[in-house]
């Protein structure tokens, strides 16, 4: 059980005044006196500038966790490792897969940028931790590992493929999230949640013995969610009843509106510079 958890959004698709903005996501978690960086944004420039502007010292980060291998979560890795040269990096081995988004036959490369790939492969033995099952990155801060895809209405949320021709669907097996145990309940932090929000919350619920959900943060990737999936998502959230929902990054404007309509003031859209304490 963690006595105090602080979550600071460093990179997001929205930003408070004076901070840099990009399509990407990075969050600093301070838990029990330890620092964890969850994702690194698309460019180190935005991560570095916002960390400086917010006075967030990354040098003490001991664990970095990659939610998945997309460029907008991994691109800032060289800068992150330059600032925290001793950190271990936790990720699913699938983060290195080459991957594309293919819309109307037009492929766009969206995998991990080469510089991030090089930075990770250059890590000394033991500093790259492969996550294939739930595991704590530091005491009390758990990585889900791969999330079983049980809900029939959830999918990865986009036209994702392992080849530019768009013939091999990318199921994003590397997608993972974090959860933290606080006295008031569990705090869940997602990256893009390509595994699905309901699937992710079910895993966390099973692993935490059904403890109450205190807060839910992150990219929920509901941009392409159909009505049925959205309705089931709302139903799940009503049942779990978190006191705070912070949709960020790739949740989608329409989905944020639906969440606000359903949960009112419990929903606070995230932005770089946002900070919450538990
Ligand atoms: Fe993303
Ligand atoms: Fe993604």
Ligand closest to Cα of 25 equals: 1
pTM of the predicted structure, to 2 decimals: 0.98
User: How many structural domains is the chain composed of?
Assistant: 1
Could you give the CA distance from residue 47 to residue 11 in angstroms, rounded to a whole number? 6
Going by the DSSP 8-state scheme, the letter that residue 129 receives in this structure is: E
Would you place residue 116 in the very low, low, confident or very high pLDDT band (cuts 50, 70, 90)? very high
Looking at residues 100-115, what average pLDDT do you find?
97
Q: What would the pLDDT profile of 142-188 be if each residue is shown by its tens digit?
A: 999 999 999 999 999 999 999 999 999 999 999 999 999 999 999 99
pLDDT at 195: 98
Both tokens of residue 18? 């004076």
Residue 125 has pLDDT above 90, yes or no: no
Going from the Cα of 162 to the center of ligand 2, the distance in angstroms, rounded, reads: 13
Query: Which residue segment(s) compose the domain that 113 sits in?
Result: 5-277
Q: 25: CA distance to ligand 1 center in Å?
A: 7
**What Å distances lie between residue 214 and 13, 61, 79, 231, CA to CA?**
24, 25, 32, 21
Ligand 1 centroid to residue 249 C-alpha, Å: 7
* CATH code of residue 253: 3.60.15.10
Distance CA 216, CA 207 (A): 16
Q: Are 72 and 101 in contact (CB under 8 A)?
A: no
State in Å: Cα 24 to ligand 1 middle.
6
Tens digits of per-residue pLDDT, 58-84? 999 999 999 999 999 999 999 999 999
CA 60 to ligand 2 centroid distance, Å: 27
Say how many Å lie between the CA of residue 191 and the centre of ligand 1. Answer: 7
**Cβ-contact 242, 250 below 8 angstroms:** no
């Amino acid at each position: 059980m963690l006595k105090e958890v602080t979550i600071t959004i460093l990179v997001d698709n929205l930003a408070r005044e004076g901070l840099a903005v990009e399509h990407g996501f990075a969050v600093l978690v301070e838990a029990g006196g330890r620092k964890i960086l969850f994702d690194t944004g698309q460019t180190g420039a935005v991560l570095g500038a916002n960390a400086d502007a917010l006075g967030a010292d990354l040098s003490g980060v001991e664990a970095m966790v990659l939610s998945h291998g997309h460029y907008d979560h991994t691109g800032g890795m060289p800068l992150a490792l330059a600032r925290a040269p001793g950190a271990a990096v936790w990720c699913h081995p699938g983060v290195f897969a080459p991957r594309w988004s293919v819309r109307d036959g037009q492929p766009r490369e969206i995998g991990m940028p080469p510089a991030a790939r090089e930075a990770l492969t250059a890590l000394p033995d033991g500093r790259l931790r492969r996550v294939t099952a739930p595991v704590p990155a530091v005491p009390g801060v758990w990585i889900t590992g791969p999330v079983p895809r049980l809900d029939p209405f959830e999918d990865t949320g986009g036209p994702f493929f392992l080849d530019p021709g768009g013939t091999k669907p990318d199921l994003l097996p590397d997608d993972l999230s974090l959860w933290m145990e606080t006295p008031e309940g569990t705090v869940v932090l997602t990256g893009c949640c390509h595994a699905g929000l309901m699937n992710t919350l079910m895993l966390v619920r099973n692993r935490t013995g059904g403890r109450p959900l205190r807060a839910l943060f992150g990219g929920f990737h509901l941009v392409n969610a159909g009505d049925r999936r959205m309705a089931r998502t709302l139903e799940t959230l009503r049942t779990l009843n978190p006191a705070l929902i912070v949709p960020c990054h790739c949740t989608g404007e329409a989905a944020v509106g639906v969440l606000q309509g359903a949960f009112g003031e419990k929903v606070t859209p995230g932005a770089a510079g946002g900070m919450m304490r538990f």
